[in-house]
Amino acid sequence: MQTSKFGLSSPSFSPQGDQLSREPAPPPFAPRTEADAVSFEVLVVPRASRSRVIGVHAGRLKVTLAAPRAEVGSRGACVAGPATAAVIPVDGEANAELCVTLAKALGVPRRAVSITHGEHNKHKTVRVNGATAEQVFRLSQSSPA
């Protein structure tokens, strides 16, 4: 890609003629097998209408979450919903909802799913005891219902 003096990018052409140069492909989704568990990267999308596994995005399993939220007024107190209120996630509820959603999708108990990295980030690393990399890979290939 070439960048103009205004910061806009335009496609660049290869020396062979009129073929566009390709951007590198995103990394493949690759669950890692450990002793009796599997670890993989997750991209969390909050404020969805329902919690479900969507597929793969940029080498991560994409999961939408409908976690409970609280409304906070301009002074930081929880309120019933005035016009100045902002909706924020309840502490830890999105992570709990992620664990429940993945446990249901993989058919393992909730206690078998843990977040190993990224508790306060939308990019997380999850470890699932009692699941296989094949199960996680199949889950990533299934279309959302």
Domains for the chain: give ranges and CATH numbers: 25-141 (3.30.1200.10)
| Coil, strand or helix at 141 | helix
Determine the average pLDDT of the residues in 19-23: 63
Contacts for 7 with CB less than 8 Å, ≥ 6 apart: none
- Residue 42's nearest CA partner among 60, 25, 58 is 60
pLDDT score recorded for residue 40: 96
DSSP letters for 38-82: EEEEEEEE-S-SS-EEEEEETTEEEEE----EEEE-TTS-B-S--
Model confidence at 117: pLDDT above 70: yes
Tokens of 23: 């951007």
- Residue 104's nearest CA partner among 60, 142, 56 is 142
Determine the average pLDDT of the residues in 115-140: 94
Please state, in angstroms and rounded to a whole number, the distance separating the CA atoms of residues 64 and 15. Answer: 42
Please state, in angstroms and rounded to a whole number, the distance separating the CA atoms of residues 140 and 144. Answer: 10
**pTM of the shown model:** 0.69
pLDDT: which is higher, 107 or 10:
107
Please write the tens of the pLDDT for every residue from 46-92: 888 999 999 999 899 999 999 666 655 555 444 444 444 555 566 67
Please state, in angstroms and rounded to a whole number, the distance separating the CA atoms of residues 37 and 74. Answer: 44
| Coil, strand or helix at 94 | helix
Contacts for 59 with CB less than 8 Å, ≥ 6 apart: 26, 27, 28, 29, 30, 41
Indicate the average pLDDT of the chain.
Answer: 79
pLDDT score recorded for residue 82: 46
